[in-house]
Every structure is written in C-alpha cells, then in structure tokens.
Amino acid sequence: MFYHVQNLINPIIADEPDPSAANALQEGLGGQFGEMRTMMQYLFQSFNFRGDSVPYHDLIQGIGIEEISHVELITKTIAALLDGSPAYQGKKFETPGKGGTTPMNEAKEQMNPQHFIVGAQGALPVDSAGNPWSGSYVHCNGNLVLDLLDNLVLESTGRLQKCRIYQMSSNKTFRATVSFLIARDEAHEMAFGKALEKLGVNWNKLLPIPKFDSSQYPEVKKLIDAGVNREQYHFRLDGSEMARIFSGPAPANDGSELTTLKEPVESYTTSPGAERPEEFSPGLDPELQELADALTDLKEKAKRGQKPSNGVGKKSVSRK
Ligand code: MN3
C-alpha cells in the first residue's frame, strides 16, 4: 500500500502562459516514452514480480513510485503553462479575447483545443499529437533480464526525447520541469544499467549506455552538479534492499558514484489552480459553494483570525 505527501518532487517556476510549450510537454506525459508509461511499466513489473530477488524488486518499485511524482509534476506544469492563456495579454498572444464576447478566442488557435474544450486548461492523458495514452505501451515481460533491458531503453529514449523538447521553448516553467526530468531519467538509466551490471553485463566491453549530453543545458547542469542524476529514492518504509544494487561506481564509467536515499532531500509545496469562470471550473454557484465551505473550517477560522489547518483539498473550494 502507499501513502503520499501533498508536495511536489520539484518546484514549478512561474513564467508566462505558453500553451504550445504545454502541448510539446504532453509527449513527456502521455507519449509512448512518457511518464505515464514509466509509472505503469515499473508498477506492473513490481506487482507481477516473481522470485525472491528482493533488491531487483525494490529497485523497480522504488523507481515506479517516483514516477507517480513525475506524472504529478509534469501534469501540474502543463496546467501551469495553459492556465489563463486564453485571456493572456502579454507579448506572445496579443489577440482579442479578454473581456470580450469570445473570452476563449485564442483557444481555438492552439495545437490542441481539447486542452480548453475538454481539459479546462489542464493536462490531458494524451501525447503531443493528441493520441490517447495506451496501456499497450507498457512492457511487463515476466522475465527480469528482459524487463531491465526494456526499462533501460525506455529511460534512454525518454531522456533523448526530453532533450529535444527542452529546445522547443525558453519558458522557465517549462524548462525547470523538463530539466529535472532529464536529470532523473539519467539516474534511472544508471539504475537499470547497474542492475544489469550485477547480472554480469560489462558496459565497457559491451556498449556504452547511450550518451545524450544534457550538461550543455544550464538548468540540467545545475542538477548534475548537485548529484541529482546519481541518486535514487526507495520510498520503502519497512526497509529496502535497493542499495544492494544502487551503490558504488555508476555504469556510465565516468568516475561518479551512486547513492540510495529513502526519499528526495527536498520537496516543494503546491497549491490548487485558480478558478476559471470561462471554463465553468470548478463550477460551484453560491449555494453549492456554501455547502463546500461547510466541509472546511477555512472561513470560520479566518473570521476568528486563526490560521486554517493544512488539510488537503480544503483550499480547492475556498474563496477569498
Ligand atoms: Mn520519470
């Protein structure tokens, strides 16, 4: 079973809305090599795991759990890039719409109008061409060696695609998330590479693990310098054997070392999106809002000048 903390694994940096960048990022979420696949692939492999090779199980499942946080991060990043974009009057979208009879005029010009018609300015479980995510992307072969090889290809291809996506926009919201995911993909390449190394693969004599030098991207370099691409979290409260694999020299053969940690050193607060009246979202009229507020102690405590408690979901129905 699983628990969660209502924090993000990496901060979302504020910048202007950029719906085209949001759409490019959909490939990293719902594409064939995106975060939804890595999450489902590693979770299915760990849930179907056979035999008693606990360190391999713990490695695959620990990474699978991290991938849930990546799906969360990239989803919220896409939403942040979309949020408010139809009414945005900054330098990129100087078109009519704001305050007129067509407040969502800009939406129909975007790469994927479903972001506005279906998703209320939020992320969708689709790729950058709008194809729905498919369970057939998930490879769970029931064979440890084959699964590890498949996972290494998945992480390498995912990182390659994100290195391409990085170059599509200089938007800070976009680049912060893409850069973090690039650094973490590299850690996961090391994890599956190391697991295969423990089963006898000698990367020096076989093939190098694919190298796409992302250290040329300043945001990625900062993370690499901090060692983010050489650590892995196991998230297991009852003791993990992941460190029996993820430790010692990295299979990149660059002199770096791998470190297993219980969880990421830092996590970052997140807040729900603003209301979007043009999307009828969340769509609570005053009567319904009152009922929703009755479930929270926010307004009551605000009246009494007390700090509201930190309950998850409470903020989402509050109005100032
Ligand atoms: Mn990932």
In the reported structure, the alpha carbon of residue 37 is separated from the centroid of ligand 1 by a whole-number distance in angstroms of: 9
Alpha carbon of residue 28 to chain centroid: 8
Tell me the pLDDT band of 13, cut-offs 50, 70 and 90: very high
| 53 and 154 part of one domain | yes
Task: Check: CB of residue 189 under 8 Å from CB of residue 155.
Answer: yes
Number of domains the chain contains: 2
Answer yes or no: is pLDDT of 100 > 70.
no
Tell me the residue type at 9: I
123-166 pLDDT tens trace: 999 999 999 999 999 999 999 999 999 999 999 999 999 999 99
Domain coverage including residue 292: 284-317
- pLDDT (0 to 100) of residue 293: 86
What is the Å distance from ligand 1's center to 67 Cα? 5
Span 52-74, average pLDDT: 98
Distance 220 CA to ligand 1 centre (A): 15
Distance CA 70, CA 99 (A): 36
CA nearest to 137, candidates 25, 42, 67, 212:
42
Residue 40, domain member (yes or no):
yes
C-alpha 38 – ligand 1 centre gap (Å): 6
Say if 165 falls within a structural domain: yes
- DSSP annotation string for 99-140: TSS-TTGGGGGSS-THHHHTSSSS--SB-TT-PBP-GGG---
Mean pLDDT, all residues of the chain: 90
Asked if residue 116 and residue 29 are part of one domain, the reply reads: yes
What local confidence, expressed as pLDDT, does residue 319 receive? 31
Expressed in angstroms and rounded, the spacing between residue 138 Cα and the centre of ligand 1 is 14
Residue 279 resides in a domain? no
Q: Is the pLDDT of residue 93 over 70?
A: no
Do 260 and 290 lie in one domain? The reply is no
What distance in angstroms lies between residue 115's CA and the mean position of ligand 1's atoms? 22
pTM score of the predicted model: 0.90
Element (H, E) at 305: none
Q: What's the 286 CA to ligand 1 centre distance in angstroms?
A: 41
Q: Are 290 and 228 in contact (CB under 8 A)?
A: no
pLDDT in tens, 274-314: 888 888 898 888 899 888 888 887 666 766 766 544 433 33
Distance CA 203, CA 206 (A): 5
Per-residue pLDDT at 101? 72
Q: Are residues 296 and 229 in the same domain?
A: no
Measured from the Cβ of residue 215, the count of other Cβ atoms closer than 10 Å reads 15
